[in-house]
Structure 1
Amino acid sequence: MASFKQKIARYLYPLILRLGRKGKNGTILSNEGNVPPKKPFPLEQIIFSNGSKPDLMSYSGKMILVVNTASNCGYTGQYAELQTLHEGFSQKLVILGFPSNDFKEQEKANDQEIAQFCQVNYGVTFPILKKAVVVPHSDQHPVFKWLTSSTLNGWNDHAPDWNFSKYLLDEKGNLIHYFGPSVSPLDDVFINAIGLKNK
């Protein structure tokens, strides 16, 4: 069940999205030089919220979108948009939601509560992972350490600006884009940049 604060944030989401595009939350970065990673993307470090691990073969030949999420954020409405993206493009794209409490403590719930919140309020069926540290820190999750270190991914050092920052990898495991929180996953600039077409 959504709290009063969560309901207000959901109502204000379109305004927050519009205002955020003018600042750092609207940042878009691209791997212009097609620089390959220096180390492979650490897929083996992915653990779902229930403690299980994915069948890595099911990710073969697909793009991967990594998003740091939170349940009490102005951008939480993007769960619904990510679900729409998942339903339309699951044959080509894997979405990985990484809940995090790194930004203004907007995700205090435990793994089970987070998964239930996502399913009940947004019908989420894409993978929600165990809660993790996503910003540079000694406890930063290996996936985000790779995403935010050019010595690993080949070119990008940009850490998440806020909840619902998005990192896109191509089918070969190359990091190709970063999209700030206020870039909707259903925005034309997002869809066009990643070259997705619904089949």
Structure 2
Amino acid sequence: MTDLSTIPLTRIDGAADTLARHASKVLLIVNVASKCGLTPQYEGLEVLYKAHKDEGFEILGFPANDFGAQEPGSNEEIVEFCQLNFGVSFPLFAKADVTGADKQPLYAALTEAYPTKTGPVEEFREKLRGYGMTPTEDPEVLWNFEKFLIGRDGSVVARFAPGVAPDDAGLIAAVEAELAK
């Protein structure tokens, strides 16, 4: 099992980072996109972040263009979109793949550590098929706005399907349970 804290990451502004810099915090890692039907989840993510950031909670957003070319913008365009439309203040990282052979090392480790997701997975896959798309299978990320919850100890403790909104009672309960530890 890969130590998540040592995987090199790049912030959206080009600065180097690792999860070690976020040690002892509860993290929600989300692959995001600006032209997706789920893009309004940015608003809920920001609300969740603001509600718990002072308790040691962070959301880390990872833009990806893996699904339906729904994140076509440059890193600069993504930042502008997120700030203007949703007031995003949580950290964003450089756009990179989250699925397939070229997925970034963090997502390879996340999907290995927690290969299945909670939420309306099969319903979401059927919806994609209805649009003529071929959905991924576990352990791959299914679509934009899939969420991985990382405990204060750095372990992956939960994984939520894209259709699980940031205001979902189960997701909030999982975040709050980790914050209470």
SS of the residue aligned with 2:27? Answer: strand
Contact map agreement 1:136 1:145 (CA 8 A) in 2: no
Cα separation, 2, equivalents of 1:188 and 1:62:
21
2:140 maps to which of 153, 159, 162: 159
Structure 2 residue aligned with 1:104? 68
Using structure 1 for the length normalisation, give the TM-score.
Answer: 0.72
The percentage of aligned residue pairs carrying the same residue is: 36
SS of the residue aligned with 2:16? Answer: coil
Using structure 2 for the length normalisation, give the TM-score.
Answer: 0.79
One-letter code aligned to 2:147? K
Question: How is 1:25-104 mapped onto 2 (pairs within 5 angstroms)?
Answer: 38-54=1-17, 58-90=21-53, 91-104=55-68
Structure 2 residue aligned with 1:145? 108
Cα separation, 2, equivalents of 1:96 and 1:58:
12
Cα separation, 2, equivalents of 1:55 and 1:39:
13
Q: Which runs of structure 1 show a deviation greater than 6 angstroms over 4 or more consecutive aligned residues? A: none
Q: After TM superposition, give the deviation of residue 66 of structure 1 in Å.
A: 0.8
Query: Larger deviation: 157-166 or 178-187?
Result: 157-166
Structure 1 residue aligned with 2:96? 132
2:151 maps to which of 164, 170, 178: 170
Question: Aligned in 2, Cα 1:58/1:42: closer, same or farther, shift over 3 Å?
Answer: closer
Question: Aligned in 2, Cα 1:42/1:74: closer, same or farther, shift over 3 Å?
Answer: same
Q: After TM superposition, give the deviation of residue 196 of structure 1 in Å.
A: 4.8
Q: Which runs of 5+ in 1 are unaligned?
A: 1-37
SS of the residue aligned with 1:195? Answer: helix
Question: Aligned in 2, Cα 1:112/1:43: closer, same or farther, shift over 3 Å?
Answer: farther
Cα separation, 2, equivalents of 1:99 and 1:57:
20
Cα separation, 2, equivalents of 1:184 and 1:122:
15
Contact map agreement 1:88 1:198 (CA 8 A) in 2: no
Structure 1 residue aligned with 2:79? 115
Higher-RCO chain (CA-CA 8 Å, sequence separation at least 6): 1
Cα separation, 1, equivalents of 2:82 and 2:177:
24
Task: Give the count of matched residue pairs.
Answer: 157
1:181 maps to which of 138, 158, 162: 162
Cα separation, 2, equivalents of 1:126 and 1:43:
21
Contact map agreement 2:25 2:56 (CA 8 A) in 1: yes
Q: Which runs of 5+ in 2 are unaligned?
A: 116-137
Aligned CA RMSD, in angstroms, stands at 2.1
